[in-house]
């Protein structure tokens, strides 16, 4: 059974599964999360790309929640949400 985690922990698990690749011309870094279709971004440095990827992951998750789409289990972790769509007060640490 998947471990229920907070929004922040869920985003961190997505970051752990992210793939980073240099652009063909070597002038940027592309990052994506395979578990989140279409969640891709690019930046000039690894740090900039990672910051942009955090925003992309958060936006992807919030959009899926708003639309009622299922969220993937990642690294045996599942986002803990209540029946009304809000994050519960306490989740497993």
Contacts of 45 (CB under 8 A, 6+ apart): 29
Summarised one tens digit per residue, pLDDT across range 52-85 is: 999 999 999 999 999 999 999 999 999 998 766 5
Residue 86 has pLDDT above 80, yes or no: no
pLDDT for the residue numbered 93: 46
Summarised one tens digit per residue, pLDDT across range 8-60 is: 999 999 999 999 999 988 899 999 999 999 999 999 999 999 999 999 999 99
Q: Within 13 Å and on the Cβ side, how many CA atoms surround 64?
A: 17
| DSSP H or E stretch at residue 8 | helix 7-16
pTM metric for this prediction: 0.85
Ordered domains of the chain (ranges, CATH): 3-79 (3.30.160.250)
Rounded to 10°, the helix 46-67/7-16 angle is 130
């Amino acid at each position: 059974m998947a471990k229920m985690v907070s929004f922040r922990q869920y985003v961190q698990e997505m970051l752990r599964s992210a793939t980073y690749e240099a652009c063909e011309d070597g002038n940027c870094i592309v990052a994506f999360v395979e578990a989140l279709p279409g969640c891709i971004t690019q930046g000039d440095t690894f740090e900039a790309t990672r910051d942009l990827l955090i925003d992309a992951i958060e936006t992807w998750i919030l959009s899926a929640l708003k639309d009622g789409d299922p969220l993937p289990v990642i690294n045996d972790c599942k986002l803990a949400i209540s029946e009304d769509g809000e994050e519960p007060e306490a989740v497993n640490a």
